[in-house]
Structure 1
Amino acid sequence: MTDNTPALKITILGGGIAGLTTALALTKHAPSTSPCPEITLYEIRPEPATIGGAVNLTPNALRLLSHLGALQEIRSFDYGADCSAVEVFDLYTGNKLAESSFRGKDGKGLGDPPFKALRITRGEALEGVLAAIEKHSNIKLICGKKTVDIKEDDSGVDITFSDGETAHSDILIGCDGIHSVTRLKHVEPSRKSVYSGICNAFGFAPRRMTSSSDQAYEETHFEISGMNFGRQGILLTSFHNSAKDSIYVGALMQMPEIASRDGWKAAGADAEKTRSDILKRYEGAALPLIKHVIEDAQDLYLWPVFTLSKGGKWATDRVMLIGDSAHAMPPQGESTGIVFEDGVLFARCLARWMEKSSGAPVKEAFDAYERLRRERIDIAFDESQSVVKTVQDAGWLGHKIKTNVIPWYLWWTKSYREKHFTEDVTTCELGY
């Protein structure tokens, strides 16, 4: 590209955190020798969805959010609870088995610059990213747009919406999640999501006060985040704000498949049935807090975990899939950071293509991104399968074996996990 080349027009389908951070990355890494790309995001909902559970933003995720200017916004709102480690407990004894630490050797965090982790609601994380988006005039977010058709040719990509309006751009990026219209209508229609066999039931419990006159909060066995292993799943109990007056409750558990999406919606809408099921699954807990947070959890929501098969097609000549639309997998502690890495690495590959000014097709940038990213995603996918096995129902003996293996496994994999937490896709070699 040359200085007199018009700005690259980019359409992003999906106004969630994947699409928004990808837009920030494309802006951040745009070469100074070319006009800044004109980016338009289309979101199917009438406004960006700020509902959801609480995610753990690992050091690599925080480093990238800082790089994109979004962490500064999150900090200015005082969102989230700083997390030095995720602690692991046996539900039936209350004993701490191990922890996955983000402290680093000197206690300041991992990577350069060092970061620990941040437990934050999805809604607050999204609000921070939206605040960063507002500072860039080249990025436009349009909500309430349902895509019904996608066509591409040598001139670009044309999208048709349900209201009859159309949009044309040079390239299209699908950041529209597990049920991606970009994938299902254009890139690989045969690659449909499948139910993983596990669900996450989550809500937020106001922290109880003690009965004493000093109005102190009920004591917790975890510092910030605790994973409580039971025979019928894992119960996550975690603070998600600096006041520590509310506890996020997330029950990751094995459940039979429900045939239709409407069936899942009906099951999710019955909060009291979900609560009763969780209480039964985690009965016998040594600590009263476990029962209390399940009883007190508000707006309980049932979220079936769907995944995609390993591999798959990520791109056509002018359309690229990013995040869950390309490689949705069961949660394995790094999912959000992986999505941010996707966006930044793709933005760098696209910027290199723009800098080369060779007239080569944009697919060259797509291919470079895939060469860099496929192996990392394949490894993460394989790791995610162990989560499914960990959550599966087990008898007394199976649980005993599991709780004995966990400390050894976390010790054995510590350096491996820290390697991922310190990786920096803002500076790695692109190789083209």
Structure 2
Amino acid sequence: MAQRVSRVLIVGGGIGGLSLASALRDRGLAVDLVELQKEWTVYGVGIIQQCNVVRAMADLGLVDRYLDAGFPFEAVGMYAPDGRLLAKIPGQRLAGPQYPANLGISRLALHTVLSGAALEKGTAVRLGTTVERLDQDDAGVDVTFSDGTTGRYDVVVGADGLYSRVRGLLFGPGEDGEYRPRFTGQSVWRHNFPRPPEIDHLAAFTGPDGNAGLCPLSHDLMYLFVTSEEPGNPRMPADQLHTLMRDRMKGFGGLIGALRDRITDPAQVVYKPMEVLMMPAPWYRGRVVLLGDAVHATTPHLGQGAGMAIEDAVVLAELLPQDAPLGDLLARYMERRYERCRFIVDSSIMVGEWEMARRHDVDRIGLVKKMLEVTAQPV
């Protein structure tokens, strides 16, 4: 008979790790979570949660508190640079008819929901700590932590992001550094604004050199994002971020253009180079498994990065407590996640390449519809 998983270590207290912790506690597993940050702060402004993510949050049992913390909306609008509406793509209410199709939520609000649930359910959280060493045998994993303490677990989950320590311990850099993140050539700029009534949906604008969008986050707040090509991944001076962001918006009219001159404080601009990684299968070795950005970091072009991490957590939480050999369970995790995540990563990268090549003969609306069709399928 297979040894049931009863004690799990999660490395990383971001969206994927916290989602998994909450779901495993619901199933009665003991969960320790370590997070490298000493202060559990959140980077960024807002996040788009599409139909499949709302469904995943329902699967996690968190959808009601989650919806209360954000702004529900039904459709995605695709616009020309001057603000003309090109198409409005309705979402699907995948979580059930009583729930909205999509949600915009601030990253701080999402972190508050997920961390609050994980702690309330009894997750043992340690901040300022990560793993130093992993030693596996057939029955478990001996972990040495960065503070010198040790522990033994049935399973270790690396949910520690793009520059995952766990991935490095398991797989190293790969051949020619293939397991290291790659800069795509683009970056994204974000800024919060008061929300006007007409931004009651995700509004995506295709520009001459990049794209922009507006996403509602609450009754009175929205965020603006703009993508730009940044050859060589230059370091941007922190005191000039407002000027640089305005410069990247000069090809837009309409509401995007009107917002440009309201960007006056560099401290309110969040700038991030786009880095990607798609790890080949399998994403596990023995009793250690990876999820989220540690294995499939994508660009924001399709708004699915965090969603894929949450879906990973849903699937792992369903599989790990089952009475079956762990290798079989992790193989099923790969079967359910690999192609779906690869589609999102590849498609998102392709949109960025279209932008950098100034391709205006492509069917971006069609790709968004295809993405919604793929992600509407069960996880």
> With structure 1 as the length reference, what TM-score do the two structures score?
0.78
Distance (Å, rounded) in 1 between the aligned partners of 2:298 and 2:252: 30
For the pair 1:322 / 2:277, whether they are aligned, the reply is no
- Out of 358, 373, 378, which is 1:419 matched to? 373
Asked if the contact 1:271/1:300 (under 8 Å) is kept, the reply is: no
CA RMSD of aligned residues (A): 2.6
Superposed displacement of residue 272, structure 1: 4.2
- Out of 34, 40, 45, which is 1:42 matched to? 34
- Which SS does the other structure have where 1:40 is aligned? strand
**Correspondences of 1:108-257 after superposition (within 5 Å):** 109-110=93-94, 112-113=96-97, 115-137=100-122, 139-190=123-174, 191-206=179-194, 222-242=199-219, 244=220, 246-257=221-232
Distance (Å, rounded) in 2 between the aligned partners of 1:296 and 1:204: 11
Asked if the contact 2:55/2:94 (under 8 Å) is kept, the reply is: no
Superposed displacement of residue 278, structure 1: 2.2
For the pair 1:285 / 2:252, whether they are aligned, the reply is yes
Moved over 6 A (4+): none
**C-alpha distance after superposition, 1:193-232 (max 9, x if no partner):** 111211112121346xxxxxxxxxxx57643332222122
Distance (Å, rounded) in 2 between the aligned partners of 1:188 and 1:347: 26
Identical aligned residues as a percent: 25
Partner of 1:89: 79
- Which SS does the other structure have where 2:269 is aligned? strand
Superposed displacement of residue 340, structure 1: 1.5
Asked if the contact 1:197/1:255 (under 8 Å) is kept, the reply is: yes
For the pair 1:21 / 2:19, whether they are aligned, the reply is yes
CA 1:292–1:82 in structure 2 vs 1: closer, same or farther (change >3 Å)? farther
Q: Could you tell me which runs of 5 or more consecutive residues in structure 2 were left unpaired when the two chains were aligned.
A: none
CA 1:348–1:110 in structure 2 vs 1: closer, same or farther (change >3 Å)? closer
Superposed displacement of residue 296, structure 1: 6.3
Partner of 1:273: 240
CA 1:347–1:227 in structure 2 vs 1: closer, same or farther (change >3 Å)? same
Partner of 1:301: 270
- Which SS does the other structure have where 1:240 is aligned? strand
**C-alpha distance after superposition, 1:208-262 (max 9, x if no partner):** xxxxxxxxxxx576433322221221122222112x2x3312122221234xxxx
Superposed displacement of residue 421, structure 1: 4.4
Asked if the contact 2:282/2:334 (under 8 Å) is kept, the reply is: no
- Which SS does the other structure have where 2:332 is aligned? helix
Superposed displacement of residue 379, structure 1: 2.1
CA 1:367–1:73 in structure 2 vs 1: closer, same or farther (change >3 Å)? same
- Which SS does the other structure have where 1:192 is aligned? coil
Asked if the contact 1:63/1:115 (under 8 Å) is kept, the reply is: no
- Which SS does the other structure have where 2:286 is aligned? coil
CA 1:164–1:230 in structure 2 vs 1: closer, same or farther (change >3 Å)? same
Distance (Å, rounded) in 1 between the aligned partners of 2:278 and 2:121: 36
Asked if the contact 1:60/1:420 (under 8 Å) is kept, the reply is: no
Asked if the contact 1:50/1:127 (under 8 Å) is kept, the reply is: no
Asked if the contact 2:48/2:303 (under 8 Å) is kept, the reply is: yes
Partner of 1:74: 66
Partner of 1:342: 312
- Which SS does the other structure have where 2:303 is aligned? coil
Distance (Å, rounded) in 1 between the aligned partners of 2:252 and 2:336: 45
Amino acid of the structure 2 residue aligned with 1:124: A
